[in-house]
Every structure is written in structure tokens, then in C-alpha cells.
Amino acid sequence: MKLYLCLIFSSIFSLISFPITAQESVKLDEKICESNLNQKIESIVNEPSRQQETWGILIENLNNNQVLYQLNKSKFFVPASNLKLLTTAGALLKFGADFRIKTPVYIKNISINDTIRSNSLDSLIIEGKGDPTFSKKQLEIIAQKLQQKGVKQINSLVLIDGYLSSPSTNYTWEFEDIYFYFAVPINSLILENNTVSLTLNPTNINEKSSLKWSDELAGKQWSIENSVYTRDSDIENNINIFPIFARSSLEIIGDLSINEESNTWQLSIPNPAKYFEESLIQVLNNYDIEVKNSQIIDRNNNLDQNRQLFLEINSPTLAELIKVTNQESNNLYAEILLKYLLKDELTEWESLNKMMNDLGVSERDYKLKDGSGLSRHNLITPSALVTILKGINNSKYQNIFANSLSIAGVNGTLENRFKDSNITNNLYGKTGTLTGSASLSGYLKNDNYEDLVFSIIVNNSTASSAVLRSSIDQIILLLGQLKKC
């Protein structure tokens, strides 16, 4: 029996931001004294439409730790993508800003004069290390280097996909999430973010719309039941994707207006290691290099000790990786960073606990199930998030971490929020959104007051993500009007 679940887009992380209307609810020319702040904030969170929600708020003076407002600061909340603050801060403290993920490429059968015997390699071996930036550009580099050495044939292509800890898919993620770009498998052989695009294009009226994959090698891993029909121009688009349980299958149902240019969906690649293998073989063939046999193995398998390092492909620095993680709220990057915290006798969770303890956060104040915040089982207190922000602000990584956050009205998930207000360019923050939950934590500069550090989380809501963001933004706009009285 097939089980169908419809994707609800409000469950998607805050990778997409929408213009806010909070400015319309706050008198932007009004100055607010500290003594009036409580009443102003409570007028927002205690509105009739907010009564069944749960709010957690902590706002402090960044310089002297003075608490300006608090509400349920020590209670647990589902943080959504605000959890990435823990993962990125932990990785930065553990490895430093200049750390890079290095992917080694080995060969076997090279002569003393550094030329390939008989234009043939016994083996080409690539050990995936979980570089989330790995793309076909890197595959091209490998092929070019081999071509320059005169290689025409590879007898055995060996790809190692077990460097990172299992499982590749978090068991606490929801079923309907794992089919889409924000919940891709977290493996060691990553290519193109483990993501593929499916585009629906109109055809003739009352005929099925055509499907086009951004990459056919990735697309062939999917089975698509297409029930989207092209309709007249006066018909509104109405397209839904329904994952089919326990299969790499999707049913797409709905109507697509003939005037619509296209309708694109970002999907996960079910077997990214296989996609890596087939893509590499395709690239090698384009360079007239034939692959006789290929296999994907676990890193624990015994490897030929006679292999030689051919080249090493490096990722951008960790400073750049955490910028993508926080500004774009990239779940793949966050999960990779968490898995990298596994070291020696410590699990990734124990290692992260150690880093958080160094920042002054007790493990009693958070319970984690992933590194990205996609799991609805994650719990953290607003107080813990503020402590993390203060701790990293007092470290040597102060500027690097702050620059990894989105800037209000400028970039990342805050690009379209606080436009044309005194918050623009003055708020550095991390957003978070899940169905029924929204969060924003970060730093706020105020020319008329002092720098602030804050965490605002709302859970258990039936309101849309846009409505929740607007309520949070109203609070932030109030903070921007603070003055000393």
C-alpha cells in the first residue's frame, strides 16, 4: 500500500525570506526607554492571536550582561536553524578559521620518471572526506591532471564513502523532508550539494507537462508519476508533490498554466555516492579516459598500500564554510561540520558538549538530535543561545563568527527583512523556521543605546511563518529604538 504525504512548504528552513510588514506595526520615530521595554514587548507577544503560542526571549546588554527583558529564558524550545549557532561555533573553536577539508586522490602504477606506464592505471582511488563544496569542477580537475599524465585507461576506479559517521540520514527527520534539498543524505562522497532540480514545463493545453532534470544522472535515481497537466492561461497554477513512502518515488499532481515559463523543485539525490561514481566516469570519458571497472567501498576495507598520492583537493576555509552554513542556513554544511567533531575517543556530541562548556553553556540547557536544526526533537533554552553568542564574541573568533551571520537588509536569510529601517546593517543574526516555530538570535548595534545580544523563539503556533517572523521583527524594531532615559 502506498502512503502519500504532501510537502508543506512552511516546514522548509529559513532558506527563503520574505519582505516583512513589521515596520507598519511599529512607530519607527518613537524612542523607547528601558523602563518601557517590557510593556512594549508584552503588547506583541500577548496579542489575542498569540495566546496559544509559547515564547522564549532573552535580551541583554552585550557589554555588561544587564538583562533588559526575559521571558521563559530557561525553558526548552525547538530552535530550528538557530541550532546552527552551536554547530558552527563548536567547529570554529575545535578546528580554527583556516581549517580545510582535504580530499585525497591516489593512483597505483606510476613509473620512476613520473609518467604513466602504457597509458594505463591499475587503480584510481578517491577517498571522500565529506567536502560539501565538491562539484563537477573538481571532477574536471582530476580528469585534466590524469590527461596531462597521458592516462587513457583506468582498470579499477575505487571510491571510498565511509569516512564520516553513520547514518547518512538522521532518523529524527520527518519523512516528507528527506526527499527535498534541505534534507539530503550526509555522506562522504558529496557532489553538487547532493541536490538535483526538477523543472516542469507547459506543453499543449490538456496535455501532461514535460519534465526536465538539471542532471540526468541524478534524475534517473527518481521515479516520477507525473499527473501535472497544462491548462489555459486563466487557470491558476496548483502543483503538489507527494513522496511515496519507502521508495525514491514522487507523485506530482496539479495544473500548470500555459503562460508559466517553468516550475522548478529542488530534490535530494537518493544515492549520492552512486551519482558521484557515474558523474566521474562520465567526466573521465569526456577526456577520453576509459574506466574498466568501478566500485564504492567503505573506508574500513583494506586498501592497497602501494597507492601513491596523486593530488589533494581542498575545500574553502572553515571561515567560508560557516558563512554558507549560517547565512544561507545550509543544512548539509551544518551536518558535515557536526560529523567532523567526532574525534578519537569522543563522539561528535561529546566533542560539541566540550566546546559548549568552554563557552559557558551547560549541556543541561540543550538536547540535540542533529547539527542543522531540521529535527523537531532538538531542544535548547534562549539563555543557552545568548551565552554562546556572548562566549564566541569574547573569543579570538569574534569577527569571523559575526561575519558568518546574516546582516539585516543585506544578505543571507535576513536580506529581505528590516529593509529601509535603522536595523539595516546593524543586526547580525541567525534565523530559524519550522512549521509552527520561528527564531532569531544574534547581535544588534544601536547608536542611541549600547550593543545588544538576544534570542527570540516562538513555538507551538498555527500562524504562518511570515506572521511569526513579523512578530519577531516588531520586537527587534523596538530594540532599535531603545535609548537611555
pLDDT tens, position by position, 335-382: 999 999 997 789 999 999 999 999 999 999 999 999 999 999 999 999
Of 153-162, 259-268, 470-479, the one with minimum mean pLDDT is 259-268
Look at the block and give the residue holding cell 501532461.
208
Q: How confident is the model at residue 245 (pLDDT cuts 50, 70, 90)?
A: confident
Give which of 407, 416, 464 is closest to 436, Cα–Cα: 464
Rg of the chain over CA atoms, in angstroms?
25
**Does residue 10 have a pLDDT over 50?**
no
Q: How confident is the model at residue 262 (pLDDT cuts 50, 70, 90)?
A: confident
Q: How confident is the model at residue 260 (pLDDT cuts 50, 70, 90)?
A: confident
Residues 325-334, mean pLDDT to the nearest whole number: 98
Give which of 312, 310, 330, 313 is closest to 321, Cα–Cα: 330
**Does residue 20 have a pLDDT over 60?**
no
CATH topology of domain 101-315: D-tyrosyl-trna(Tyr) Deacylase; Chain: A; (3.50.80)
CB distance 409 to 425 below 8 Å: yes
CB distance 75 to 388 below 8 Å: no
**Does residue 8 have a pLDDT over 60?**
no
Q: How confident is the model at residue 246 (pLDDT cuts 50, 70, 90)?
A: confident
Residues of the chain with CATH 3.50.80.20: 101-315
pLDDT, position 6: 41
DSSP 209: P
Query: How far is it, in rounded angstroms, from Cα 233 to Cα 255?
Result: 11
Contacts of 426 (CB under 8 A, 6+ apart): 408, 444, 445, 446, 480
CB distance 154 to 143 below 8 Å: no
CB-hemisphere CA count at 13 Å for 386? 26
pLDDT, position 306: 81
**Does residue 485 have a pLDDT over 60?**
yes
Greatest C-alpha distance within the chain:
83
pLDDT tens, position by position, 49-63: 999 999 999 999 999
Cβ count near 331 (within 10 Å): 26
110 DSSP β-pair partners: 116
The domain covering 9-97+318-483 belongs, at the CATH homologous superfamily level, to DD-peptidase/beta-lactamase superfamily (3.40.710.10)
Under the phi-then-psi rule, with left for phi > 0, alpha for psi from -120 to 50, and beta for the rest, what region is 192?
A: left
pLDDT, position 261: 83
Q: Which amino acid is at 318?
A: L
pLDDT, position 247: 87
Query: How far is it, in rounded angstroms, from Cα 179 to Cα 249?
Result: 9
CB distance 193 to 160 below 8 Å: no
pLDDT, position 9: 38
Please tell me whether residue 296 adopts helix, strand or coil conformation.
Answer: strand
pLDDT, position 30: 81
pLDDT tens, position by position, 174-224: 999 999 999 999 999 999 999 999 999 999 999 999 999 999 999 999 999
* Backbone φ and ψ of 198, nearest 5°: -115, 120
pLDDT, position 423: 97
pLDDT tens, position by position, 95-116: 999 999 999 999 997 554 455 5
Residues of the chain with pLDDT > 70, as a percent, come to: 91
Residues of the chain with CATH 3.40.710.10: 9-97+318-483
pLDDT, position 26: 64
* Backbone φ and ψ of 209, nearest 5°: -65, 150
159 DSSP β-pair partners: 126, 296
pLDDT, position 112: 40
Residues 92-131 as b/e (b if ≥16 CB within 10 A, e otherwise) read bbbbebebbbebbbbbbbbeeeeebeeeebebbbbbbbbb
CB distance 96 to 318 below 8 Å: yes
Give which of 196, 177, 197, 187 is closest to 132, Cα–Cα: 187
Q: What is the pTM of this model?
A: 0.93
Query: How far is it, in rounded angstroms, from Cα 323 to Cα 330?
Result: 9
pLDDT, position 15: 39
Give which of 451, 318, 446, 477 is closest to 389, Cα–Cα: 451
pLDDT tens, position by position, 457-474: 999 999 999 999 999 999
Query: How far is it, in rounded angstroms, from Cα 405 to Cα 387?
Result: 16
Residues 42-48, mean pLDDT to the nearest whole number: 95
H-helix segments, 149-219: 216-219
